[in-house]
Amino acid sequence: MIVSIQRTSVAALSISAAAFVGILTYEGYKENAYIPVSGDVPTIGFGTTDGVKVGDRTNPVAAANKALVDVAEFEGSIKQCVRVPLYQYEYDAYVSLSYNIGSGAFCRSTLVKKLNKEDYSGACYEILKWNKMGNVALPGLTKRRQGEFVKCFGG
């Protein structure tokens, strides 16, 4: 039996369980709020920043539940700015990227402009450009972007 895989309307997609676990793995867990990089915003749990203050604490269950809520918000933003159908693996890669860089940056990006012109390959390559803080490439971001890039192409 031959199974045909087609791109699906973004409105019909939801992040896969594997991609959600991937986001949690990339983000790592921190019980106490911290500043990940000088000049950045306070972060807690699995990368949550909304309403976080230095001194806040969480636990793994609460942090995972908050990450689910956060992912749903990023999915909603993607569904607002991406107007072309995607494969599940492309969608998962873009949700992971958006979770890390923010919805506004994602939706204003050259990546989305290319994507909405159906330049799927060019959009995937844009992921690799998001590995810097300021003008400095960070090893952790570079590794994450390489993983998202591979996922974007179905790997």
Q: What average pLDDT does this structure show over 54-75?
A: 96
pLDDT band at 2 (very low <50, low <70, confident <90, very high): low
Q: What average pLDDT does this structure show over 116-123?
A: 98
Return the domain boundaries, the chain: 15-152
Q: How far is residue 90's CA from residue 20's CA, in Å, rounded to a whole number? A: 14
Three-state SS at 121: helix
Q: Does 15-152 carry CATH code 1.10.530.40?
A: yes
pLDDT band at 4 (very low <50, low <70, confident <90, very high): low
Q: How far is residue 18's CA from residue 107's CA, in Å, rounded to a whole number? A: 23
- Given the residues 27, 75, 126, 148, the one annotated as active site: 27
Question: Mean pLDDT in the chain?
Answer: 94
* Other CB atoms within 10 A of residue 48 CB: 21
Q: Among this protein's residues, is 27 annotated catalytic? A: yes
- Bigger pLDDT: 121 or 37? 121
pTM, entire model: 0.92
Q: Can you say whether residue 10 is alpha, beta or left, with left for phi > 0 and alpha for psi between -120 and 50 degrees? A: alpha
- Structural contact between residues 33 and 57, judged by C-beta atoms closer than 8 angstroms: yes
Q: What percent of the chain has pLDDT over 70?
A: 96
Q: How far is residue 129's CA from residue 91's CA, in Å, rounded to a whole number? A: 18
Token pair 């940056």 is found at: 105
pLDDT band at 155 (very low <50, low <70, confident <90, very high): confident
pLDDT band at 36 (very low <50, low <70, confident <90, very high): confident
18 closest CA partner among 92, 99, 95, 127: 92
